[in-house]
Amino acid sequence: MLTQDRTDLIESLFVASDRAFDAGENRLGSLKLWEAAECALSAVAESRNLPSATEDDHFDLLELLMSEAGRRVDIYDGYDLISGYLVAGFVQNNVEYDFMEDYLLESSRRSVRHFVKELLPFAMKPSL
């Protein structure tokens, strides 16, 4: 379930990410950004008693959420939870490999924030 503590943690991770990126510490900024996404995924999974330990768990959860929202996973219609998660995954890879240029990081920061914003309401309502 999404608690105030969890919401505060996600916000503090976003703040830490922004500070790191502003200081030129792209790996640390990427780590904090990924941790915010992972925290949101965990909150949703926990609210539904579903696992969230692996990437497969994450994709299964996102497919379920999109289905509940009436979105077909097999049709791309712009932004969806899957594409948001994929961007978060690139950010996670940037922690180790530091391959993302500044313009990619800036775009990814917006995408991951949007992903988390779209994800969190699913932690506050019961599954259908």
How confident is the model at residue 127, as a pLDDT? 55
CB 33 within 8 A of CB 112: yes
How confident is the model at residue 70, as a pLDDT? 81
Say which CATH number the domain at 24 has: 1.20.120.330
Would you say residue 128 lies in a domain? no
How confident is the model at residue 77, as a pLDDT? 58
pTM of the model as a whole: 0.91
Rounded CA-CA distance 101/24 in Å is 12
Would you say residue 90 lies in a domain? yes
Would you say residue 87 lies in a domain? yes
Would you say residue 107 lies in a domain? yes
Sign of CA dihedral 95, 116, 112, 5: negative
Would you say residue 110 lies in a domain? yes
Q: DSSP letters along 54-95, please? A: SHHHHHHHHHHHHHHTT--TTS--S--HHHHHHHHHHHHHHH
Domain that holds residue 103: 4-123
Q: How many domains does the chain have?
A: 1
Would you say residue 117 lies in a domain? yes
Q: In tens digits, what is the pLDDT along the chain, a chain of 128 residues?
A: 678 899 999 999 999 999 999 999 999 999 999 999 999 999 999 999 999 999 999 999 999 998 888 876 555 555 689 999 999 999 999 999 999 999 999 999 999 999 999 999 999 865 55
How confident is the model at residue 1, as a pLDDT? 64
